[in-house]
């Protein structure tokens, strides 16, 4: 039997990036899928995932729209009868110097990354409470556990996701619901390439890669594998945890001494 045989997994940000990679990984393990994304799903991992899955639903919508979320969750429950896993993957990156950051941009990032996570959890939790089981996986970031240059709004939003995760793990554990988050390092996704797409950013990208002790960016499937672990019974005693998957980015600092001694 596959690790997620017949389980219903609802994934936000499902059309691309980490959400689509998670959908594909779940489908490979027997899950049925419900996807929600601002953009229509066309091709890529989501299309492959739905081809593998026994059944799937998808809806284009905004994670800031509480009414649209409630309607979609109701549709998922009506179609599948239950929701076993929620993966909150939808997100945007932005920030800047606080004294130059427009309040509207701050609100956009917080509303999508943090409030959107809250709204989907709020909508899905009644189903999980009723069935007395469920796994919620929130995508945070290494930037939710430590600061980063010029990403103030993003840092704040992801730090909020980390603590929201811990709070829900406390509040819903006795209902059979586990709540965890993943804190990825820098992963090679369309969102990251939007940041590093400018040729002038090549030097910065190289420095970012070097800051990961494994010397490279992460792959979407490596985050999807972590999501799969948290979604299935292998992690049945794990809740309230922030799983850092970052190639050693937050392990500490390297100053080149090993290279100087000829070890690298």
Active site residue ranges: 154
Handedness of CA 53, 58, 63, 69 (dihedral sign): negative
Tell me how far apart the alpha carbons of residues 156 and 108 are, in angstroms, rounded to a whole number.
Answer: 12
Q: How many of the other CB atoms lie within 10 Å of CB of 135?
A: 25
The DSSP secondary structure of 103-137, one letter per residue, reads HHHHHHHHIIIIIHHHHHHHHHHHHHHHHT-EEEE
- According to DSSP, the residues that pair with 117 across neighbouring strands are none
Tell me how far apart the alpha carbons of residues 106 and 185 are, in angstroms, rounded to a whole number.
Answer: 22
- According to DSSP, the residues that pair with 32 across neighbouring strands are 8
Burial class, 245, CB count within 10 angstroms (exposed 0-12 / middle 13-18 / buried 19+): middle
Tell me how far apart the alpha carbons of residues 59 and 225 are, in angstroms, rounded to a whole number.
Answer: 24
Cα 80–Cα 81–Cα 85 angle in degrees, nearest 5: 75
Residues 14 and 88 sit within 8 Å (Cβ to Cβ): no
Tell me how far apart the alpha carbons of residues 120 and 149 are, in angstroms, rounded to a whole number.
Answer: 29
């Amino acid at each position: 039997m596959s690790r997620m045989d017949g389980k219903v997994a609802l994934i936000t940000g499902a059309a691309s990036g980490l959400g689509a990679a998670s959908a594909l990984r779940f489908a490979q393990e027997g899950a049925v899928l419900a996807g929600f994304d601002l953009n229509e799903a066309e091709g890529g991992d989501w299309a492959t995932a739905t081809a593998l899955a026994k059944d799937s639903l998808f809806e284009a919508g905004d994670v800031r729209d509480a009414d649209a979320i409630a309607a979609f969750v109701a549709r998922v429950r009506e179609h599948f009868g239950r929701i076993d896993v929620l993966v909150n993957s939808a997100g945007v990156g932005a920030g800047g110097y606080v004294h130059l950051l427009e309040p509207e941009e701050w609100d956009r990032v917080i509303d999508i990354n943090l409030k959107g996570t809250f709204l989907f959890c709020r909508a899905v939790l009644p189903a999980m409470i009723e069935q007395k089981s469920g796994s919620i996986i929130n995508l945070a970031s290494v930037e939710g556990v430590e600061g980063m240059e010029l990403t103030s709004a993003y840092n704040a939003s992801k730090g909020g996701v980390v603590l929201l995760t811990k709070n829900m793990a406390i509040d819903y554990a006795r209902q059979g619901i586990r709540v965890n988050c993943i804190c990825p390092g820098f992963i090679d996704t369309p969102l990251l390439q939007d940041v590093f797409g400018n040729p002038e950013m090549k030097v910065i990208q190289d420095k970012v890669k070097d800051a990961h002790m494994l010397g490279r960016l992460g792959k979407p499937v490596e985050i999807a594998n972590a999501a799969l672990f948290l979604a299935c019974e292998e992690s049945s005693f794990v809740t309230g945890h922030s799983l850092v998957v970052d190639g050693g980015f937050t392990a500490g600092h390297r100053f080149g001494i090993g290279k100087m001694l000829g070890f690298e």
